[in-house]
A and B are shown apart, each in its own frame.
Chain A
Amino acid sequence: MARAATRSFIKWALSVDRVHDCDHIRHILQAPSNFMAVTHHFEITVLYFAAASTATQKTTEQIRIPDNGLRLSELGNLLISQYPETNLRDVLQSSQWSVDAEMVDDLDSVVLKGGEEVAVICPVSGG
């Protein structure tokens, strides 16, 4: 009984369908030319408001992320490295993040896959 279960697990684990379901493995298997063709999937849109837009002199930009995704908690350092002569580090320290127009509480829990709209939410000052 146990041996049968093990056999069926191994069969499942090696099945072509399963490999095809896994984006990560599929991209490794793809030829380099195809790989280049899908790079636009690994971009996110970053929106800058208030002090963040003053620091970057931009309101929005496309950011390339690694093809195996990027933890939201790592995005800050990636952006800071692109704006070395600015106060973006200070701005990000006091800011929160939103992904696809939802505020994010736990930055480590979110892995960006590409296609997301990420915004730097500086301390708000409406009213």
Chain B
Amino acid sequence: MLSVAYLGTTYLEDASFETSWNADGNVCALTYSRLDVSGIISAVGDDTAGATAVFIGTTRNSFAGKTVARLEYQAYSKLAIKTMADIMKAACQLVSRSDDQPENQAVPSLIRCAVHHRLGTVPVGEPSIVIAVSSPHRKEAFVACEFLLEEIKSKAQIWKREFYEGEDDRNAEWKSNK
């Protein structure tokens, strides 16, 4: 099994790999590349959209009085991408009809969703997650965007380690969202 030791963290080159899932224009992706926010937003763009909700999670420079040097993310990619896809399908079910549409009229309330999560080292100030949701109306876009974020934070098999300025990398802390 190939694994690469890097700055005190062992990357799971075999298990924490880049991957993506795509269905009906909805996209989930895990990537070691820097996230292209405007590219992700334009990818959910559509002439039938009246709203695009976007969430950008970035690396904060402090935690409990300590200065954060960088974050490192790893994932069990094979399982995490399935979890993310299931969450995205659930978001489409949850937000299935706009209140602004007549009851009996089948209008998709979400047009396209995209969730991109970065893996590997993320320097302070750079995005680690970008979520974009387009919808005919704002409310569904906001609801779906928040649902995607909260569900992914609590369920997707992705882990973050925080490295602090002036501290041994061995003291770097694996975070927990619970």
A51-B174 in contact (CB<8A): yes
Is A73 part of the contact surface with B, judged by Cβ < 8 Å?
no
A126-B75 in contact (CB<8A): yes
A-B contact count (CB 8 A): 91
A101-B79 in contact (CB<8A): yes
Query: B76 to chain A: which residues have CB within 8 Å?
Result: 47, 49, 98, 101, 119, 121
A122-B152 in contact (CB<8A): no
What secondary structure prevails in chain B residues at the interface with A? mixed
Query: A124 to chain B: which residues have CB within 8 Å?
Result: 153-159, 176-177
B1-A60 in contact (CB<8A): yes
Query: Interface residue count for A (Cβ, 8 Å)?
Result: 21
Q: Which of B73, B159, B175 has the most CB of A within 10 A?
A: B159
Is A6 part of the contact surface with B, judged by Cβ < 8 Å?
no
Is B82 part of the contact surface with A, judged by Cβ < 8 Å?
yes
A47-B159 in contact (CB<8A): no
Query: A101 to chain B: which residues have CB within 8 Å?
Result: 76, 78-79, 82
B79-A125 in contact (CB<8A): no
Is A39 part of the contact surface with B, judged by Cβ < 8 Å?
no
A49-B1 in contact (CB<8A): no
Give the CA-CA distance A49 to B15 in the complex, in Å.
Answer: 9
**Minimum Cβ distance to chain B for residue A95 (Å):** 11
Smallest CB gap from A61: residue in B: B1
Is A54 part of the contact surface with B, judged by Cβ < 8 Å?
yes
Q: Which of B1-58 contact A (CB under 8 A)?
A: 1, 3, 10, 12, 14-16, 57
A–B Cβ pairs within 8 angstroms, 15 of them: A59-B10, A60-B3, A102-B79, A103-B79, A119-B15, A121-B79, A124-B155, A124-B157, A124-B159, A124-B177, A125-B158, A126-B117, A126-B160, A127-B152, A127-B160
Interface residues of B (CB under 8 A from A): 1, 3, 10, 12, 14-16, 57, 73-76, 78-80, 82, 117, 128-129, 149, 152-161, 174-178
Interface residues of A (CB under 8 A from B): 47, 49-51, 53-54, 59-60, 94, 98, 101-103, 119, 121-127
